[in-house]
Amino acid sequence: MNRIIPPIGIGTFLLEGTDAYGSVITALETGYRLIDTAAVYNNEKEVGKAITDSKINRQDICISTKLYAKKTGYHTAIKECRESLKNLKVEYIDLYFIHWMPRKYEELLDTWRGFEYLYEQDLCKAIGVCNITLFYLDKLMKDAKIPPMFCQIELHPFLQQEIFIEYCQQHKIKVIGYGLFAKGHVFQNDKLQQLAMKNNTTVANLVLSWAQMQGVIPLVKSKNEERIKSNFLNNIEISAELLSDIRILNDGIRVYRDPENNPYV
């Protein structure tokens, strides 16, 4: 995939109906060009309508969606992708992901074969995996005909995933991070509040700028118009000293499910 992926995206997890539509419209008006959804979010139709109603050229928008975790296998992947295309009312998906890794590696590989077909048919411009262990990702890289191009993972100052990110960068896999605000815990952290105040910014923009400094594309989510705009416009430069100050917060705590212990598959 040769096209340039936008440096920040708007997520739509837990946004349905008018909330999903309004968030995407506001995001596109603000300047976001990466829109992230998933079959399980039950909002692909609203996301697609917002993209259509925005009147922005389709080729200027990067749409990311995901295969429902409980639906695996070669034929199922192809069928479900076509359903997402129908819901979004587009001819291709820019980034298509396996949402959660199956418990059995054989299921993951069989599903990935379907993703490879979709890529070869130009129904997806890039394919990737979400919520996967490094062990499974490494096996997939060795067995895949077309290796994953993107990986979406939980990422925030309390779960910095340095080894995972380093592996992806070595293998030319672009990382997209979700959960950057750790379900609001970053705003309650005294250290982050102090660092934001010292650098004349907000905790939100500090965290997003930190993620981008790691070479990660952060996803943000909100139905609040001002927050959507603020998250997009106010990035700051992260110095080596500031990076070191944030690194000490890394304690490996997840606020979302562990890929190895989740109920979704």
β-bridge partners, 93: 124
Strand-strand pairing, 150-154 and 174-178: parallel
Q: Quick one: which of 204, 199, 132 has its CA closest to 168?
A: 132
Catalytic residue list contains 41: yes
> Could you write out the three-class secondary structure of the chain?
CCCCCCCCEEECCCCCHHHHHHHHHHHHHHCCCEEECCHHHCCHHHHHHHHHHCCCCHHHCEEEEEECCCCCCHHHHHHHHHHHHHHHCCCCEEEEEECCCCCCHHHHHHHHHHHHHHHHCCCEEEEEEECCCHHHHHHHHHHCCCCCCEEEEECECCECCHHHHHHHHHCCCEEEEECCCHHHHHHHCHHHHHHHHHCCCCHHHHHHHHHHHCCCEEEECCCCHHHHHHHHHCCCCCCHHHHHHHHCCCCCCCCCCECCECCCC
**Catalytic option among 21, 32, 41, 117:** 41
**In whole angstroms, what is the distance from residue 19 CA to residue 46 CA?**
9
**In whole angstroms, what is the distance from residue 208 CA to residue 59 CA?**
25
Active-site residue set: 41
